[in-house]
Structure 1
Amino acid sequence: MRSALFARIATWVVAFLVGAVYGLAGTVSHAYELGWFPLGLVLAVIGSAALLAAVRLLTLDRWATLATGFGMMIATLVVSGTGPGGSVIVPQSMLGVVWTIAVPLLVAVAVAWPERLHVTRPDGPVSADR
């Protein structure tokens, strides 16, 4: 029992740290544009969504997914303010607003996603935990 609790808490801490790294990377790279195409934003959103989906599917734990999302959101919040030298990483532009709103939306969808899918077969319902 004690080792299971320790493993679960350790999973949450690692998930938070990995989410913080992804949040930091997405915050730094979201403003990159290739001509007119916002390549940095698209890759940051895809990478963040993929990480949240992977954590949710691999751990089967909403709390680990939420810890990953908190890491992303806190990294975005901390880095998006004005730095000590007056530099701004997330300017108040359309890309910055989209990135700032996309992260919590992705986290909400990943955490709220249903746990089990039920499939009805001719011989009766089958759940994912079989």
Structure 2
Amino acid sequence: MLFLLNDVVFDLDEACPATPADARRFEQLGFDYVLELGCELFAEDPLLHRNDPARARRLAWLIANRSPDVNAALFAAPDAGCEPDLVEPRFCALPEAVIRQLQAKGRRLDAVAADRAVWNRLAA
């Protein structure tokens, strides 16, 4: 399964980012907790998806695991070190063709291209 996190496409079908022991621990976590965790992580580092892709991939895996219809998430933080309440999370279910097209852009995919294709936050 492909998952768009901000402007990075992760392939969640590759080796599971969580160990079997961690996966069992995560079973108890609800979607609200995962949402709060994502906001905390992106409040700490708004470029988490670029600066720590392993951690970002685990977050994407948790989101997809808790809400299987969701395959795209955006965590918009105004500044590094901001309060987690200021992080604006958004989720959606994209057609796989759209995510594959974004994945094909590879390194050329950036926040503006992802916004234009998915989030429309910068639209006037």
TM-score by length of 2: 0.30
Greater share of helix: 1
Return the TM-score normalized by structure 1: 0.29
Give the strand-richer structure, 1 or 2.
Answer: 2
Higher alpha-carbon Rg: 1
